[in-house]
A and B are shown apart, each in its own frame.
Chain A
């Protein structure tokens, strides 16, 4: 069993599937996630693949302070992701609301109120290296020995 688990661990460490969802940001963090895909940082060399389909994803990157229209839809997206799953908050907005956290703005941060968040990447916007580091460090915590932890 442990050999099988070792193989699974080895494979999963190089096969992290990511979906990102923008729940009302200024697009600054979107651009930084996009920069991760570009050759300078090249997210795929670490075995991270980006899909825009939550059913294929392991990790959900949540970007942006949550607008009221996104509240139920974000929960739907979260429920569509198969187990084991994890959500990472990218940028200040999902953590605190950043500059939108004032009176009169139609946002309802933080995102922890709606879905469980495993890791937060603060910054406005965070550097692509910080996003990559967060994904790479949170993935093994969740996926390593997943089957053994279940029992």
Chain B
């Protein structure tokens, strides 16, 4: 009998009734460490386009020209919140969750370079790529016509009737050679590597 009274009294307590009828789990907010859509920090964008180049989702980020300088803009319907743009930005223009803190703590960074590849079966040795390349033109102004060059400092030149790539590391990724190739034989690919430690600080 006493136990029944005990239970009735227990169940009539206002706190208990409130908890029972208006039960709610934790409020519907995202935690502070949630990797949300990248937001802008105060840093200045230099329009290097690293964020756009590393973005895996089509049309998710665009670096736009604003009244005073450049500014990356993220489109929520396209962005997959992977955070790669935040990590790839050399200036730290974007921030999201604790990506920047973790990258600083672990000393991680992305290294990128351009890789030139010529398909010998498609290439017809016209030398358009060597002639059109703006870096080549600066290094060796004499380079014209057949794409042969006396200089060893050019990115690529025609040697013995085929394209030889000498200095891949000078490539700026402008893809002028790709656009001027009649056969789509030359491809410019951007390679990205994640590095940690001393390499990342350099």
Contacts and interface: CB of A to CB of B under 8 A. Distances in A.
B80 A45 contact: no
A120 B190 CA distance: 34
Contacts of B80: 92, 98-99, 123-124
Nearest to A101: B58
B59 interface: yes
Contacts, number: 49
A22 interface: no
B78 A129 contact: no
10 pairs of A and B residues whose beta carbons are closest in the complex: A124-B80, A95-B77, A122-B76, A129-B28, A96-B77, A96-B78, A122-B77, A101-B58, A42-B25, A99-B57
9 contacts: A92-B78, A96-B78, A98-B78, A101-B59, A124-B57, A124-B80, A127-B30, A129-B30, A132-B28
Contacts of A41: 25
B29 A129 contact: yes
Nearest to B22: A45
A40 interface: yes
A151 interface: no
A45 B27 CA distance: 12
B81 interface: yes
B23 interface: yes
A74 B86 CA distance: 37
Interface of B: 23-25, 28-30, 34, 56-59, 75-81
B28 to A, nearest CB: 4
Interface string A98-117: 11011000000000000000
Interface residues of A, number: 22
A133 interface: yes
A122 B36 CA distance: 11
B58 A99 contact: yes
Nearest to A93: B77
Given A45-B23, A45-B25, A123 B81 contact: yes
A42 B79 CA distance: 27
Contacts of A101: 58-59, 78
Contacts of A123: 76, 80-81
Contacts of B29: 129
Contacts of B59: 96, 101
B8 to A, nearest CB: 26
Contact of A124 (B23, B28, B34, B81): B81
A85 to B, nearest CB: 23
* Chain B CB within 10 A, most for which of A102, A124, A130: A124
